[in-house]
Amino acid sequence: MPKSKRDRAVTLSKTKKKGREHKENIVNSIREAVEQYNSIYVFSFENMRNLKFKQFREKLKSTSRFFLGSNKVMQVALGRSDSDEIRSGLHKVSKLLHGDSGLCLTNMPKEEAQRIFNEYEDYDFARTGSIATETVELKEGPLDQFTHEMEPFLRKQGMPVRLNKGVVELVGDFVVCEEGKPISPESSRILRLMDIKMATFKLQLICRWSPEDFEVYQEGLEGSDIESA
């Protein structure tokens, strides 16, 4: 009987080499892009949705290039101090790469880039563990938004429901989620059924670098990390 490919041993040295090569490719790609674009932005993101970000990136592919992933790898690519930065002032950009952030290298005019990022936001269904932005409560009585076939599924989500002459009926008031509290797996499924979107995918500019200047957009980020470098 042939062995499953999943059962084959992979040597640690081989996986380390593959990971190192991948990181080196990213570093080289960023350094090449630095020479091709006029400005570099650090941006942060909330409630990342891969498909929506891919669509956003696709719209700007003629003028811009984006990098997401390990902040440390991106910092190495740009340089983490004035002694190893690849262009003057880029170590200041590196110091603002932390948390949920990425790089945008672009030839867009500054005003256009700021407008596009500031205006962008997209709504999606909240995932398990995210914080509810509002309280959703269903009152006792018929639930016309649900078909009778959905009654067993709703009961599995903890809703006190029954069928009354083919209509889904709530036998008591039911709180789906409470504002400021984490959303449970069951609540997430119910909110999706109700078409209630609580997650907002947003991008926010943190800073901009160009050969001529360096700007920090968010207050409180101009602090000692940058000034002491």
Specify the pLDDT at position 226: 44
Specify the pLDDT at position 18: 58
Q: Which long-range contacts (CB under 8 A, 24 or more apart) does 18-24 make?
A: 23/70, 23/73
Specify the pLDDT at position 17: 61
pTM: 0.73
- How open is the CA angle 200-203-205, to the nearest 5 degrees? 150
Helix (H, G, I), strand (E, B) or coil at 222: coil
Specify the pLDDT at position 19: 78
Q: Among the residues of 89-223, which ranges form H helices?
A: 90-94, 110-119, 151-156, 185-193
What is residue 125's DSSP assignment?
P
User: What residues of the chain score a pLDDT lower than 70?
Assistant: 1-18, 219-229
Starting at the earlier edge strand, list the strands of the sheet with 141-142. 141-142, 167-170, 161-164
Provide φ and ψ at 215, rounded to 5°.
-125, 140
